[in-house]
Structure 1
Amino acid sequence: MVTIQLISIDTNKTISYTQTNSLGNFTIATNTNTFPLKLKVQHFSYESKELILDTNQFLSIVLEAKTNELEEIVIDTKAYDVIKKGDTLQYNLKSLLNGSELKLKDVVNKLPGLAIDEDGKIRYNGKIIDNLLFDGNEFFDRNHQIANDNITAEMIQKIELLTNYKNLSSIKDFEDNGKTALNIGIKDNYKNRFKGNITAEGGLKERYNLHGNLYNFGKKTMFNVVTNTNNINYSVLSVKDYMDTRKMNGKRIISEQFSQGGFSTSDLDLPSFLFADDNIQSRKLTNYTLNLSHKFNSKSKIEFISIFNLLDQTEESINKQVFFDGQSSNIDRLDKITGTSAYASNVLKYEVKLKNNSYFNVNGYSLWSKDNQNQFLESTLLLNDNKLNFNNDLKFTTNKYGVNAIYKNTLSKNLLMDVVAFYDNNSTNTNKDYNSSEVFSWFDIFKSNLHQKSNVKSSDIGVQGRMSWKLGSDKLIFRTYFGRSNEHLNNNLNELNAYQLNDDYNKTENIIGVQYQGTLKKPLVNYSLGFQYNYTNHSYLLDSKKALGAILPNFSISRNLRENLSAYISYNSNLNGFSILNFLSKNIVDDYRSYISPSFVVPELMITDSYNVGIMYNIPEKNIFFSLSFSHNSDRKKLESTFNNLELVTQQNFQYIDTNKTTSGNLTFNKKFRHIPFGLNFNSFGSVSQLETVLNNETSDNKNYNISSKLYIQSYFKNNQLNFNAGVNYMNNISKNNTAISSNLAKLERVTPFITLNGVALNDKINWSIDSQYFIYKSSSVQSQNIFDLGFRTQYNFSKKIQFYFNAKNILNIRENNTKNNLMATPNYTQEIIMRSLSGFTNFGIIFSL
């Protein structure tokens, strides 16, 4: 495509012209013109040439590339906030942050698709992140809140979300479905050295907070220790963090490895400090948390997690108990409870990739907790206006220890074997001292005090083997499990024969399972089909024995409807278990006005059917994240408490029921606009549960409706002098009970508009924030004052080493008589509560950075 012109030298007129072909060749006619003639060669990408020809001839012409030097090129566009690269979402922190952020939690809350829930957990698209990574290394395990509160924004270089994360235990070509992980890149000047900070604050109402944080993010060794003591209601450890720590232990490790496990575990021994909110009069907490991780090399590492928590708190509340049977006297009750709760946990984990095709992991752990409570209860029976006072001392001590191990090995290119084994040992001691203003005649004790000692010892041992056989892109899994459990209960009460018992319950469990996992490419559909056969032997009262067998099917299907749209549906059936309390030979006092009596039930199959369906629509480049899910759980048969209410006492035992089902739904939507500095967020969770119970030998139908929603707008002004987060929280709990002779309803509704303002001032010397919430309560029978909760924090960055700050919470309610509402629903009664809540405070503090 080079233009060729033949030109007369005398007239400068074109004689003829042509173009070169694809090979650059050309022939041009002289048309009888005499030589010399001029040949002109032109192309837009090359420098032109002129040649003087004296005769017909063959020519070889080489053109030089034309160079145009541009002084400047400007591409004017708005950078993406989120970039998707395969299974990784990379966040553009320069676009999303403005420099007013102080902690990791402040950063995460500004990243589209991510949020931090009330339990301190980081969620992506509504689901909890599985792993926290720092420079690609796992650390803090599942303790999200510790990371959120102790990693500062200035330490963070980058953040990316891995939606298909494979850890050290993953075996290539066998385990395709990875987990989610949030990878936080640390700046170089915060690595390979000990750094940290010490915080101290104090002020009005004698409120204080002392906090220490020391860390070292090394290439091989990562270390973090947090110490804290405070009475401002700050918890280093959240409820979810504690529960996830327990999942590393014992039988739970099998459910973690294989979701179609069909196991049931008990969490009746949870320490009370987990559920303490600001619905208390006073609260003092001391905490120590250590996280240590060391990589021996790229294929082996060790982790140690140690937690100690000591809580001292006082609760005071006014309660109205409404019984469902229509016969018992409703009760107005004043509760004053003081107590201490101590808890210690230590977990040591070692894992190694022996070769590319084998893996070994071992966990050893110990758990200890001790709770002491003193209860002063003043009860007024509304039927006859009689008053009863109780002064109770309760003590609970739990000791657990155990070990579990995982081994994986590829026996061939298409065959993987893995084995999981565990051993747990538990001992729980309970001492209950009850003192009444009247004799405990309802317990057949003609004294005004009673003392009960109980001890429960249990042990669990089990092993699971699994073979995974690859069939192209599909997989066939064979599984077998053997486990044995033993529970022993000893109980003594004031030398009364009806409360003296030594009971045992033993269970052996055998499982054989088959699972087929496949993929259809057009359309892209992943599916899984399987079943397991459970065979259990139960040994309980008077050497009674019972064997049960059940086939438990399961399936799941997921499909990519479009590039950014996917949906799933699943079904799973599980076998529920028993506890020693189901097989009592004599009575046990449950609390000061109720006891559990022998049920004499025979073990039967109790199967739960679980259905799940959901849809996800994500366009990261447009900052759109949407998920909607529903679940339904239904028990074909369930062993539940039944109640027989007498004048002053409730007798409990166990009976099989047919109606126990729950339906729940979860919706999350997150959209950050690209061309205006705002983001819209909405999340909502709701559930409806139905439970059939027996009250005074009559069938009772309980329904509970719960909904909680949060809608808010968040600003992203690059000018860091002011940003805001404003919206509303809504919560509604309704409990309905119907018997043949009565109907009861209890309701608690809370609407909470809120707004948070934050920014920096004086050339980034001052970080400030203002938080305000207005709590509006509506209750069916008790009323609480509405609360305007106003707080602020102002931090002056004196230097890189020292910061001063003011911290104030609920400053309009510094008085001692603050109250909040709550609702507790049981199958026997509803209890509406007005609780004393923590007073506000203003503190002055200093932060010294190491």
Structure 2
Amino acid sequence: MKLKFLVPIFSLFFSFYFSQNINIEVKDTNGKPISEANVQLLKNGRTLDFQKTNDGGFCTFPLSEKGVFSLKFTSVFYKTKLVEIDTNEKLNFEVQLESQITEIQEVEIKSRPKIATAKEDTIAFNLKSVRDGTERTTEDLIKKLPGLNINENGKVTYKGNTVGQVLVEGNEFFGKNHKMATQNISANMIEGIDLWQNFNTINGNRSTAINLKLKDEYRGKVTGNIEGNYGTKNSYLGHANLFKFGKVGNLALIADANNIAKDPINFMDFYEMNTQENIENSGTNNNIDIPSFLNNDGKVKSKANQFGALQYSKSKKNITVTAFSIFNNARLEKLSTSKRIAFDGQPQNFNFLEQKKEDNRGFFGTTQIKIKKTFSDNSFLYYNFGYNPTQDNFNEDINRSSVDYSYYKVQNKTKNSSIGNFLSWNKDILNSKLIFTLSQLNENYTGDLDINSNTQLFLGNTPFLSQRYATNSNKYGFDFYFKNKNQILNFNFHSGISYKKDISDLGEVFSQAVENRTLKNYHYINDLNIYKKLGKFDISASLSSNFITINESNKHYFEKRFSIKFNPGITAISEFGLEYNTKYEIPGLKLLQYNALYTKDLSFYKNTLLTPDLLSKTDNYKFTWHRFNFEKGNNLFFMFMYSKIKPSFTTNITNYGTFSGIENTIGEINNKYIFLFANDMRFSKNYTLKSKLTGMVNKNANFISDNNNFSTIKNLELSQKISTNFRNKPLQFDLGYTFTKSIFEQSFYDITSKQDYLKLSLGIRANINKEWITNVLGEYLIQKTEQNTLKNFLLGGQISYRKEKSNFEYNLLFNNILNLNSFQYINSSTSQLGIDESSITALNGYVLGGLKINL
């Protein structure tokens, strides 16, 4: 046992005597120092470290071992340069960079330019090969790049995974909120886009990132735009993007006010705002409820948002600071009509027709402060502070007709706040790294639910219900990491301890039911990860030993991870990957409440068989294949994933007609299958075809009224879009379709239900004389359930006029203009309670006119 502790101690002692630094000085061709240049230290094609030059043009890398390395220099003002160095000969290097501002003689390009080039861990996209002058935002550019996609949450994805961050000139831009950059920075500000596959984050983690490189004229001054639009039925949109990117730091201000259901923040952004980071980049999800007013699907009668975001960031040699704050206030109204059809064998009074009217309002926000202090030996301290408040006021009126008429007035007011602190110290020692971290997270939640009705509620003897549910959670953690890289084997060791205390108070006024619960969780972890490159194979494996104490109960388990990747090394980048991992989960505090926990959906939950120390195991298997041809700009990606959960946390549902009772219990198994096939293909010189096929099958064992039941959900989606890129032509076209099929199967009652969705789309993009920019999209939508079929034609877009060299731009925005007064969506859903056919009132169409001032 003593020898295990001597190894890192000797490594630590040895390093302080033998570690050295590589000193880099960067100048221009006139001998002037270049500040804020990006410098990457590479070896064998892999990024070892990343720095920025200071005001004197200097940066320093800690040297763990002598040898031959590469230095890559990038800057918005200077040409990219790759230099090979040999630290056996010297440790001080001076490098000159050439300016990118040069006169280019007229050249006729006869061959098709590469759409992308790869150097080490960086893929640089050639935007000239995809620009056609109709792009408005950075998001429009990213959608045209092979291998990159924008998902339904506005996140940039690559190889089926969400990219870690979107950076501006190598600096953070509102954390992990991609839309803040992609939808607010205009396309004409962007000079280039790089994909960094091994990005060194501010806290020392490794991640992926999209780096946006700005044009020279947008640096060192205030830039952006301010716009105001007003239109039919008092609809309005006001928006402002103001930026200043310069040597004194980067400043960004984004503000928005609208009542056309334009959401600056989505569900994933909200989750990430309420997630505390850790050194492994995995984060800690707080299982927070999504606010009712955060509806991003447009299926609302009306929605108004008031939004503001402010960020400042500054990166120097010794200190890096990033601070931002986001606030969103919203209100929405929602109308829907539903028909519940009970299964054969159930009482007829379980059938009903109901109308719902929602009026929800609330706010949420986040404040993040990140500070990194680097010392002379290149060790650094990193601190992160996060504060996230949320308030949600849900109000709903339900009118239900069955054998009898009943109404329900539901009010649910929730408040949630979290405060987190994270501190880490990082030290490079020879070919090793030591990291110590401290973390703290406090969460407070209160939920007040009041229901009034003309009928007795939830098997009680009163038509009233008043419930308060409050929780308080405190978590503290201490972790140690030892990471080593050498020629034989790379390994990472992690040891940590965390303590979490959860307290809940559940009470209902009329029944006088009260329940107080406390959970104390000690978690000890020791994890060893190894990595080895064998020819064309990358192999990694890890074993994690976990010991937990929950109240008075002790549990021990192992978690395993294994990954192997194969790169054939042919002309196009091609990679095959196979991954396996196991993960254990214990039930949260909400699942363990023995008293009835009532919800705004007219149901209640209570625990029957779950215990605090019950371990649910998940086995994940994943196969991937990725092929990227940079010469042709073709990208292909395939993924198949299988997950098995046993035992699972499941439910036993009892239908009482007017409400449902749900018992939290133990399920036999839960299986999930997911596959994804995506292909971006360029043919001829002017056409791009993007294809995507996704599928999901989820099989779950649960119970209905104490009877065994197996539910299966199947989803299939196929989409294709062909886009033109005619050089020097005013008109471009997008033609595509999306087909979705959903199937629900249930063994109990022997039920199967289906729903189909087909969307045909035609888009026209135009840039006329560099003054008129037009984007018009027409969509023919067919929604089909087993009971109904609904067909709609949607027409929307934007027309802009801006005279060359003028700061003023005149806009006409329109959406769903063929349905300015009313519009409906239909939906069919089947659950253990019955089949629900719903008609949902959607946002009316609108026409807006306004003025944008470009700075």
Aligned to 2:602: 593
Once the two structures are TM-superposed, the CA of residue 826 in structure 1 deviates from its matched residue by 4.7
Match of 2:738 among 722, 729, 739: 729
Alignment-mate amino acid for residue 756 of structure 2: E
Q: Give 3-state SS (helix, strand or coil) of 2:714's partner.
A: strand
Give the stretch that moved more between structures: 185-194 or 471-480: 471-480
Runs of 5+ unmatched residues, structure 2: 1-105
CA deviation vs aligned residue, 1:134-191 (integer Å, no higher than 9, x gap): 2333333322212122211221222233333334544xxxx8xx53322222122211
Indicate if the aligned counterparts of 2:449 and 2:599 stay in contact, CA closer than 8 A: no
Q: Number of matched residues? A: 744
Aligned to 2:854: 849
Tell me the TM-score normalized by structure 2.
0.83
Query: Is 1:812 the counterpart of 2:818 in the alignment?
Result: yes
Alignment-mate amino acid for residue 737 of structure 1: Q
Aligned to 2:520: 506
C-alpha change, 1:646 and 1:272, in structure 2 (3 Å) is: closer
- Flag the structure with larger Rg: 1
Indicate if the aligned counterparts of 2:813 and 2:848 stay in contact, CA closer than 8 A: yes
Indicate if the aligned counterparts of 2:165 and 2:208 stay in contact, CA closer than 8 A: yes
Aligned to 1:765: 771
Root mean square deviation, CA, Å: 2.3
User: Where do residues 143-542 of structure 1 align in structure 2 (5 Å cutoff)?
Assistant: 143-170=177-204, 178-247=206-275, 249=276, 252-253=277-278, 255-256=280-281, 265-295=285-315, 297-322=316-341, 326-327=345-346, 329-355=350-376, 357-381=378-402, 385-410=403-428, 412-440=429-457, 442-444=458-460, 446-497=461-512, 499-521=513-535, 524-539=536-551
Q: Give 3-state SS (helix, strand or coil) of 1:107's partner.
A: helix
Aligned to 1:679: 688
Once the two structures are TM-superposed, the CA of residue 197 in structure 1 deviates from its matched residue by 1.6
State the distance in 1 between where 2:651 and 2:286 align.
16
Indicate if the aligned counterparts of 1:582 and 1:599 stay in contact, CA closer than 8 A: no
State the distance in 2 between where 1:840 and 1:833 align.
21
Q: Give 3-state SS (helix, strand or coil) of 1:764's partner.
A: coil
C-alpha change, 1:457 and 1:169, in structure 2 (3 Å) is: closer
Match of 2:578 among 558, 561, 569: 569
C-alpha change, 1:710 and 1:291, in structure 2 (3 Å) is: farther
Aligned to 1:134: 168
Runs of 5+ unmatched residues, structure 1: 1-71, 258-262, 540-544
Q: Give 3-state SS (helix, strand or coil) of 2:293's partner.
A: helix
CA deviation vs aligned residue, 1:574-606 (integer Å, no higher than 9, x gap): 111222223324332234632223425333221
Once the two structures are TM-superposed, the CA of residue 376 in structure 1 deviates from its matched residue by 0.9
C-alpha change, 1:824 and 1:463, in structure 2 (3 Å) is: farther
Once the two structures are TM-superposed, the CA of residue 678 in structure 1 deviates from its matched residue by 0.3
User: Where do residues 22-101 of structure 1 align in structure 2 (5 Å cutoff)?
Assistant: 76-101=110-135
Indicate if the aligned counterparts of 1:99 and 1:720 stay in contact, CA closer than 8 A: no
State the distance in 1 between where 2:386 and 2:550 align.
28
Aligned to 2:663: 653
C-alpha change, 1:551 and 1:110, in structure 2 (3 Å) is: closer
Q: Give 3-state SS (helix, strand or coil) of 1:597's partner.
A: strand
Alignment-mate amino acid for residue 542 of structure 2: G
Once the two structures are TM-superposed, the CA of residue 681 in structure 1 deviates from its matched residue by 0.5
Once the two structures are TM-superposed, the CA of residue 269 in structure 1 deviates from its matched residue by 2.1
Aligned to 2:152: 118
State the distance in 2 between where 1:705 and 1:717 align.
40
State the distance in 1 between where 2:484 and 2:833 align.
51
Once the two structures are TM-superposed, the CA of residue 667 in structure 1 deviates from its matched residue by 1.4
C-alpha change, 1:600 and 1:346, in structure 2 (3 Å) is: same
Once the two structures are TM-superposed, the CA of residue 463 in structure 1 deviates from its matched residue by 1.9
Indicate if the aligned counterparts of 1:264 and 1:577 stay in contact, CA closer than 8 A: no
Query: Is 1:775 the counterpart of 2:781 in the alignment?
Result: yes
State the distance in 1 between where 2:244 and 2:363 align.
28
State the distance in 2 between where 1:94 and 1:341 align.
44
Alignment-mate amino acid for residue 434 of structure 2: M
C-alpha change, 1:126 and 1:511, in structure 2 (3 Å) is: closer
State the distance in 2 between where 1:549 and 1:486 align.
19
Alignment-mate amino acid for residue 304 of structure 1: A
Give the stretch that moved more between structures: 393-402 or 348-357: 348-357
Alignment-mate amino acid for residue 207 of structure 1: S
Alignment-mate amino acid for residue 669 of structure 1: N
Once the two structures are TM-superposed, the CA of residue 766 in structure 1 deviates from its matched residue by 1.0
Indicate if the aligned counterparts of 1:139 and 1:222 stay in contact, CA closer than 8 A: no
C-alpha change, 1:85 and 1:518, in structure 2 (3 Å) is: closer
Give the stretch that moved more between structures: 643-652 or 98-107: 643-652
Query: Is 1:689 the counterpart of 2:698 in the alignment?
Result: yes
Q: Give 3-state SS (helix, strand or coil) of 1:279's partner.
A: coil
State the distance in 2 between where 1:796 and 1:219 align.
34
Q: Give 3-state SS (helix, strand or coil) of 1:621's partner.
A: coil
State the distance in 1 between where 2:837 and 2:424 align.
47
Alignment-mate amino acid for residue 138 of structure 2: L
Q: Give 3-state SS (helix, strand or coil) of 2:790's partner.
A: coil
Q: Give 3-state SS (helix, strand or coil) of 2:154's partner.
A: coil
Alignment-mate amino acid for residue 629 of structure 1: M
Alignment-mate amino acid for residue 811 of structure 2: Y
Alignment-mate amino acid for residue 110 of structure 1: K
- Percent identical pairs in the alignment equals 21
Q: Give 3-state SS (helix, strand or coil) of 1:189's partner.
A: helix
C-alpha change, 1:112 and 1:690, in structure 2 (3 Å) is: same
Indicate if the aligned counterparts of 2:155 and 2:178 stay in contact, CA closer than 8 A: yes
Indicate if the aligned counterparts of 1:305 and 1:346 stay in contact, CA closer than 8 A: yes
State the distance in 1 between where 2:597 and 2:285 align.
22
Once the two structures are TM-superposed, the CA of residue 829 in structure 1 deviates from its matched residue by 4.7
CA deviation vs aligned residue, 1:41-72 (integer Å, no higher than 9, x gap): xxxxxxxxxxxxxxxxxxxxxxxxxxxxxxx9
Aligned to 2:625: 615
Q: Give 3-state SS (helix, strand or coil) of 1:846's partner.
A: strand
C-alpha change, 1:473 and 1:840, in structure 2 (3 Å) is: farther
Indicate if the aligned counterparts of 1:482 and 1:511 stay in contact, CA closer than 8 A: yes
Alignment-mate amino acid for residue 575 of structure 2: S
C-alpha change, 1:465 and 1:92, in structure 2 (3 Å) is: same
Once the two structures are TM-superposed, the CA of residue 830 in structure 1 deviates from its matched residue by 4.9
Alignment-mate amino acid for residue 271 of structure 1: P
Once the two structures are TM-superposed, the CA of residue 74 in structure 1 deviates from its matched residue by 7.6
Once the two structures are TM-superposed, the CA of residue 75 in structure 1 deviates from its matched residue by 7.4
Once the two structures are TM-superposed, the CA of residue 427 in structure 1 deviates from its matched residue by 1.1
Indicate if the aligned counterparts of 1:130 and 1:179 stay in contact, CA closer than 8 A: yes
Tell me the TM-score normalized by structure 1.
0.84
Once the two structures are TM-superposed, the CA of residue 73 in structure 1 deviates from its matched residue by 10
State the distance in 1 between where 2:722 and 2:736 align.
6
State the distance in 2 between where 1:350 and 1:824 align.
48
Indicate if the aligned counterparts of 1:473 and 1:519 stay in contact, CA closer than 8 A: no
Indicate if the aligned counterparts of 2:582 and 2:618 stay in contact, CA closer than 8 A: yes
C-alpha change, 1:470 and 1:116, in structure 2 (3 Å) is: closer
State the distance in 1 between where 2:607 and 2:191 align.
62
